Every structure is written in C-alpha cells, then in structure tokens.
Amino acid sequence: MIAPIAEMLRTYVLTLNFADRVGGLARATKVQIRDGEKIITKIIPMVKDDFDDCEGGKQIPILPDIRYKSVHFFEDGGVDIVDRDSFYLHCEANLTLVSWYNMRDLNAAMDDCNLFTAQILSVIPYRLPNSGYYTVLRVEPTGEQQKGWGVFSKYTFNDDENQFSTLPEFDSTAIGFRVSFWFPVNCVSEEALISSLCI
C-alpha cells in the first residue's frame, strides 16, 4: 500500500547530485548463493527494477557498492488505519530511508554524512501532490533512527572484506518519515488482469 508513495519520495531524492543509486520500497528477500560446494542463504534488500522496459517488475538487489557515490532505498514500517468514514480511509504509515555513502568519492574532507542527510530532508516536501487513489498526502521526518552499519542489521552483509562501514571512507544512516494520506475506498475499481510477459 505504501510502495507508490515511496516511489514518489524517491523522485525527490534522485534530484540530488550525490544520489546516483536510489531505489523505491525494498523488500527483505532470501536468496541462495553458492559458496564452493555449500549453498548459503542470505537476506538482502531487493527493489523493483525500473531500468528495463520488458522486465520492469523484476526485483534486483540494492547494496552498498563502491561504483556509486551513494545508495538509498526505503523500508516499510507498516500502515495504520487512523479513521474511516463512508468514503475514505485515513491512513498513517512509517517509512525509513536507508542511505549508504561512499565518503571518499563524495568529499574526503568530511567526517560523516550529516550534510547529505540535511540535503535529503530539504528536498522532500511536507505536502505531496495527489496521485492515483492517494489524496491529502503529508510527509513529516521523524528523525534519524540509526547511524552506522547497524542500519543494515536485518540483512546478511559480510562487511569483513569490503569494510563498507569504516569511517571516514563510508557512512550510513536511516531517516524515519511519518506519511499521512486519505484513500477513497468507494472509488477503487477492479483492476484489469494483464500478463507480465513481454510479447
């Protein structure tokens, strides 16, 4: 339910000159990787691939990567129904923007990513335009939830080799957002069933 709003917020983050890898709503996904003769199960964040016209619904991993200046994606913190009347559901949702920064490519003189966090907060508006079934959209930052490699604690990353958490070369942060919106339940129409196969 919150994925379309995360996608809207993603477009604002993409306007920043340091944000060269930005995903929408990520799903923690179990993947199996062969390591010699063993098969290891890892949990990694996956986002919708919007770069391939044919396979636009395909999920791809979004991970810290030294090829990028920064990597960002959103996590779903759940949706609460605050109120309901005959026409609308009033909902509030929690989103977390997880950000990883390659400080050596951004600005080696900086000690942490605080300036980049401030820039993200400055471009995300309090009011978003109505979109699809979502109306009266409001976005309010709730604060920095965590800083450092702990923002990736729910995923299976082996940081021993790449040292993606080592300051001052790399930094990570998680920013919380509270999103409020109204959803017109009486206007929801039945979706057409369309195959995902490219013809």
Q: Using DSSP, how many helices (H) and how many strands (E) does the chain show?
A: 4, 9
Going by pLDDT thresholds of 50, 70 and 90, the confidence category of residue 36 is: confident
151 in Cβ contact with 174 (< 8 Å)? yes
pLDDT greater than 60 at residue 199: no
The mean predicted confidence, pLDDT, of the chain is 87
Report domain 3-187's class.
alpha beta
Burial of 47 (0-12, 13-18, 19+ CB in 10 A): buried
**Residues 6 or more apart whose Cβ sits within 8 Å of residue 69:** 18, 19, 20, 101, 102, 105, 106
Note if the pTM is more than 0.85: yes
Phi and psi torsions of 128, nearest 5° = -105, 150
Domains in the chain: boundaries: 3-187
pLDDT of 54 above 70: no
Give 86 or 181, the one with higher predicted confidence. 181
Q: pLDDT-based confidence at 57, cuts 50/70/90? A: low
